[in-house]
Amino acid sequence: MEILKTYKLYIGGQFPRTESGRTYPVRGANGNHVANACLGSRKDVRNAVQAARKAQSAWAVRSGFNRSQILYRIAEILEDRKAQFVSELISMGSSTADAQNEVQSSIDRCVYYAGWSDKYQALLSSVNPVATPHFNFSVPEAMGVVGVVSCQRTGLIGLISQILPVILGGNTIVVIANSDQPLGAISFAEVLATSDVPGGVVNILTGQIAELLPTLAGHMDVNALSLAYIDADLLKAAQEVAIDNLKRCSVYAEDFTLQTSQGLAFISTFQEIKTTWHPIEQLSGGGSGY
C-alpha cells in the first residue's frame, strides 16, 4: 500500500501542523483529491514573522560567499529531487512538458541567483566623491523581514523567483504559498531544510490569502512586501494596513517562467542604501582623499 505524504507548514526550520488544526483539500486539474494541505491561521503568520525576525541578523552577517554556497546547494538538492517536483506539478494540473520545463527553469534560477549573492553589493555600492574632506560610501543593506504572497499561477518557479533574490540579500521571509497549488511549496521547504538554509530564513505557510495576508501586511515587524497576482480588493486592503509602519510594497504581475523575470532589480528592490561619512585627516598640505 502507498504511503501518502502529509503536507505541513515550514516555520523556524521546523515542519509544524497549523496551530489551528485545520486542513483543506488540494485538487488536481479534473477535480480529483490529491492531498490535504494545512489551512494556516493568523497565529501561524505571527509565529512565522517571529521566527523570521529571530533569524534575520545572523543571516544578514553571513558572507555573500557563504549565502552563495547555500543557494547553490538548493539547486543541487532540487536537481536530485526533480522527478518528485515534476510529478507534484502534474498532480496539481500541469501538463508533463510544462511541469518539466518549470522544474528545469527553477533549478536554473537557483544557480543564477546563487551567483548573485556576492556580486550585487559591488554593483549597488558607490564611493561618493564629496566636495569636503570625507570618505563617503554607500552600500546596500537588507531591509529585514519581507512578507511574500507567492505567484498564484505557478506551483514552483514563481515561488523560487520571489524567495531567492530576497534572501540572498540578507532578508528573511514569510511566504504565503499559492493556495491552489501549495504542494510544491512545502516540498521546496524540504529542499531548503536539507540545503543548510538556517531555520527561520524562509518560512512557508499554506492557506487562504484572504485570511493570512491582512495579518502579514499589517504586522509591525515586517519591513517589506512582495505581492504577486492577488485580487485587487485584497491588494488594496493589504497596501492600506502596510502604511502603518511604511512597508515597502512591490507588486508583481510577471510571467515568472520567462528569463526576463530574473535580474538585479529583483534583488535591489529589497535593499536599503546606507551612506557612511568619515573625515579624512589632511596630511602634507591637504593632499589626502579618495
By the criterion CB under 8 A, which residues form the site for another protein?
Answer: 126, 128-132, 134, 136, 138, 141, 223, 232, 236, 239-240, 243-246, 248, 260-266, 272-279
Q: What angle do CA 32, 97, 6 make, to 5 degrees?
A: 40
Q: Which is nearer to another protein, 96 or 128 (CB)?
A: 128
Whole-angstrom distance between the N-terminal and C-terminal Cα of the chain?
A: 71
For the chain, helix, strand, coil in percent to 5 are: 45, 20, 35
Q: Which is nearer to another protein, 232 or 283 (CB)?
A: 232
Q: Which is nearer to another protein, 196 or 240 (CB)?
A: 240
As measured in angstroms, the least distance from the Cβ of 273 to another protein is 5
As measured in angstroms, the least distance from the Cβ of 229 to another protein is 16
Q: Which is nearer to another protein, 178 or 261 (CB)?
A: 261
Q: Which is nearer to another protein, 80 or 231 (CB)?
A: 231
As measured in angstroms, the least distance from the Cβ of 35 to another protein is 35
β-strand partners of 60: none
Give me the residue label for grid cell 528545469.
Answer: 104
User: Three-state DSSP class for 25?
Assistant: strand
As measured in angstroms, the least distance from the Cβ of 64 to another protein is 14
Residue 129 near residue 115, CB atoms below 8 Å: no
Instruction: Strands of 133-270 (E only): list them.
Output: 134-142, 145-149, 172-176, 202-205, 224-228, 248-252
As measured in angstroms, the least distance from the Cβ of 167 to another protein is 19
As measured in angstroms, the least distance from the Cβ of 125 to another protein is 10
With residue 212 as reference, give the H or E element that holds it: helix 209-218
Give me the residue label for grid cell 509565529.
Answer: 47
Task: Determine the residue type at 156.
Answer: L
Q: Which is nearer to another protein, 111 or 280 (CB)?
A: 280
Q: Say which residues have a Cβ less than 8 Å from residue 169's Cβ, sequence separation at least 6.
A: 120, 140, 142, 267, 270, 271
Q: Which is nearer to another protein, 8 or 109 (CB)?
A: 109
As measured in angstroms, the least distance from the Cβ of 165 to another protein is 11
